[in-house]
Amino acid sequence: MPNLRVAVDIGGTFTDICILDEASGQIRVAKTASTPDDPLEGTMRGLTEAGIDLKDVTLFSHGTTIATNALLTRRFPSSAMVCTKGYRDVIEIRRANKEELWDTYKDVAPPYIRRRDRLVVNERIDHAGRVVTPFDEAEAREVARILKKRGVEAVAVCFMNSYMNPAHELRMREILEDELPEVQISTSSETLPEIFEHERFSTTVVNAILSPVVGRYVTRMSDQLKDGGYKSDLLMLHSGGGVMTPATAKHFAGRLAGSGIAAGAIASRHIATLCGFENAIGLDMGGTSCDVSLVSGGELRITRDWHIEFGYPIRFPSIEVLSIGAGGGSLAWVDDAGALHNGPQSAGADPGPACYGHGNTVPTNTDANLVLGRLGTSLAGGQITLDRAVAETAVRTGVAEPLKLDVAAAAQAIVSVANANMADAVRLISISRGYDPRDFALVAFGGAGALHGVALAKELSIPTVIVPPNPGVTSALGCLLVDIRHDLAQSYLMPAAEADPRDIEEKFADMEGEARSRLEKEGVRAEDMVLQRAIDMMYQGQWRSLAVPVAAPFISVDQAIAAFHNDHEREYAFRRDDAPVDLFRLNLTAVGVTQKAELARHKANGTTLKPHATRAVSFDEVEGPVETPVYLHKDISAGTAIEGPAIIEQLDSTTVVPPGLHAEADEWLNIRIFVSEAAT
């Protein structure tokens, strides 16, 4: 009987594959080099190398960067936008702000759709949904004719105030479908039915231009999996932390723009929960970037304020993940003033760090860790050999000589700057949000997370570091731990004091009907549906809102207001109980719970852990290199105690346990490093 669950996470350097046996809960992993020109090529090669027979697979889940990369590289098909006359420049005017406020030479990137392809139709609906100017069908037909002649593959239809009355957008869609039956069409009233035209238009444009890219990708992957014997739906991880079937992914392609980073956050929450921690910070440090997430009370933070390129917001709900350019391949460089920097530039998969021997001569974090002895001379189970001499040369010429340091001190400086950058990212997602890192555990994963986790924990006074059993493929594991999820929203602009709870309940009921319909089409049983409500609220005069969870049925506006005051105080450190409150939006999260196999638990066998080798390793805590035992993770069993200094090596990562620290392997083979014990 088919008994395997497979997850694939494509990163900038490696494609990670996680295989879970449903019967035993055992996990095995595989890594293969990513293929940026065609990510699917690396995925299918990895499945072959892992010896996976797709006939034995019951579930295939996939986190992909295909949408993110399309936006970053602007490699998407010819697209167009149809707007209300007079509003074609909304996405170019934006909010009239800049990412670098004081840099007069740095401009915001141009819109995804150029001005000549933003066409207009005479129509107008007012703020209350009343028709002010009738829809001009003759102009609409002419616009459709022009777009057909230009051969566009995607169209975003964005009319003013369509969130209050979508009639004109729906008619425009019908005309476009008549004239251009093969073209992907996204309407703003369906994609993001809310006020603030720039955010609504921008999200709709992103959704439209990605639809052909995502559609072709999921179709190709589904076909290749089917040809190999896989019989179920391919599940695509989206930014909100759930999965979508290919049919839904084609329709809401913009949701995949944050697909890759969501998986790691989900996995870190699961691992922290297994270990008994409701509060956890996830540190996913890979080859190119470092992604930081936060779990409070067992729940991941969700945001609607995010983008791939500044100035072009994507307002789909997304797990809040802060990404910085700090990975194993991040380049270390000295500026003209003699200051040392780390990233955000990266050596990537090709040519990679200098020690890969593929032509790069600029030192990276991987080179620095190799020089310090924290890394051995091979990665990915021997697939990649590291040349320490080349790494030393890169560190010497790139950092040591310009700063007049010896090679070891320069390598340590490179790592210290990387750690400082990551510590700042953790502070932004924790302290600046009102959370104390001392109340959290740090889940360190990714190919390089376990190398740096303890240093960050010490910097931030985090008491415990958890290193998962397979750190380098933890994001792939996250793809196996998610449910089908849809996020629906409806504008509801009204002073809270005037709101009728019966009207709010009626609108929630309508959204729940649509949500159940979507889940039914994806094969979710009624008993596996979970519907969660929230209302976006704000103090009168504000324009940023805060989502407040509410119960069903909704019976009390006063209770929602009280909850808003409490949440506002925690988020922003102040509250105004005497100030009037406005309602902004009704939100519904619809979850289709999927069956999840439990991870295998291991029993302590009392085996004494013996080092595989020893090598000289430099640590922050002591001067000069220390002869350090090197253990193999496969030799570690539940209950194994490890005293620092120690290095733990495995296929996908290396863990550093500094001198004076105690670590233990738990029943799931997570390595828990107790930082606070050393400080007391």
**Ranges under pLDDT 70 in the chain:** 1-2, 12-13, 349, 380-383, 596-597, 606, 677-680
Domain C-terminal end among 394, 417, 440: 417
Domain final residue, candidates 158, 173, 203: 203
Count the neighbouring beta carbons within 10 Å of the beta carbon of residue 108: 17
**Of the candidates 441, 463, 478, which is a domain's last residue?**
478
Counting Cα atoms < 13 Å in the Cβ hemisphere of 491 gives: 21
Say if residue 493 is in the same domain as residue 523: yes
Helix axes 167-179, 137-150, angle to 10 degrees: 40
Encode pLDDT of 433-451 as tens digits.
889 999 999 999 988 999 9
**Same domain flag for 319 and 425:** yes
Task: Clarify whether residues 318 and 452 are in a common domain.
Answer: yes
Q: Which amino acid is at 443?
A: V
- Residue 289: helix, strand or coil by DSSP? coil
Q: Among the residues of 244-372, which ranges form H helices?
A: 246-251, 259-274, 365-371
Quick one: CA torsion of 114, 120, 126, 132, rounded to 10 degrees?
A: 170
pLDDT of residue 497: 93
Integer Cα distance of 83 and 276 in angstroms: 52
| Cα–Cα distance measured from residue 676 to residue 148, given in angstroms and rounded to the nearest whole number | 65
Distances 299 to 242, 269, 588, 631 between C-alpha atoms, Å = 14, 8, 16, 35
Q: Nearest to residue 268, comparing CAs of 242, 295, 289, 239?
A: 295
- In tens, the pLDDT along 647-680 reads 999 888 899 999 999 999 999 999 999 998 554 4
d(CA 540, CA 498): 13
Considering the domain architecture, whether residues 322 and 388 belong to the same structural domain is answered as no
The pLDDT of residue 654: 93
Q: Distances in Å between the alpha carbon of 463 and those of 84, 421, 435, 647?
A: 56, 20, 15, 20
C-alpha span between 192 and 239 (Å, rounded)? 15
For residue 265, being part of any structural domain is answered with no
The H helix count followed by the E strand count for the chain is 18, 37
Residue 83 lies in a domain: yes
- In terms of Cα–Cα distance, which of 174, 2, 31, 21 is closest to 476? 31
**Which residue is listed with tokens 């619809």?**
590
209 domain residue, yes or no: no
**Same domain flag for 467 and 533:** no
Q: What is the residue whose two structure tokens read 């409701």?
A: 278
Query: What CATH number does the domain containing 154 carry?
Result: 3.40.50
Specify if 396 maps to a domain. Answer: yes
- Strand locations in 510-645, DSSP E? 529-539, 546-550, 581-592, 613-617, 626-632, 641-643
pLDDT at 1: 61
CATH number at residue 235: 3.30.420.40
Question: Is residue 175 domain-resident?
Answer: yes
Q: Do 515 and 660 belong to one domain?
A: no
Residue 553 token pair: 């049925």
Q: How many domains does the chain divide into? A: 6
Query: The domain containing residue 178 runs over which residues?
Result: 71-203
Asked if residue 491 lies in contact with residue 193, where contact means CB atoms within 8 angstroms, the answer is yes
Cβ–Cβ under 8 Å, residues 456 and 243: no
- Looking at the structure, do residues 348 and 458 belong to the same domain, yes or no? no
Residue 599 placed within a domain: no
Q: Whole-angstrom Cα distance, residue 66 to residue 237?
A: 12
CB 371 within 8 A of CB 407: yes
Angle at which helix 259-274 crosses helix 66-73, to 10 degrees, equals 140
Which pLDDT does position 680 carry in this prediction? 40
pLDDT at 643: 93
Instruction: Judge whether 516 lies within some domain.
Output: yes
- Which residues fall within 8 angstroms of residue 222, CB to CB, at 6 or more apart? 233, 234, 246
Quick check: is 630 in a domain? Answer: yes
Residues 441 and 313 in one domain: yes
Report the amino acid identity of residue 599: L
Those residues with Cβ within 8 angstroms of residue 455's Cβ, 6 or more apart along the chain or in another chain: 415, 419, 620, 658
Assess whether 33 and 86 both reside in one domain.
no
Q: Are residues 232 and 366 in the same domain?
A: no
CA end-to-end distance (rounded Å), the chain: 53
**Does one domain contain both 376 and 230?**
no
- Token pair belonging to 649: 């090596």
Phi and psi for 4 in degrees, rounded to 5? -110, 140
- Selection from 60, 28, 22 nearest residue 597 by Cα: 22
What is the residue-wise DSSP string for 544-574? --EEEEE-SS---HHHHHHHHHHHHHHHHS-
Residue 597 has a pLDDT of: 62
| Same domain flag for 95 and 166 | yes
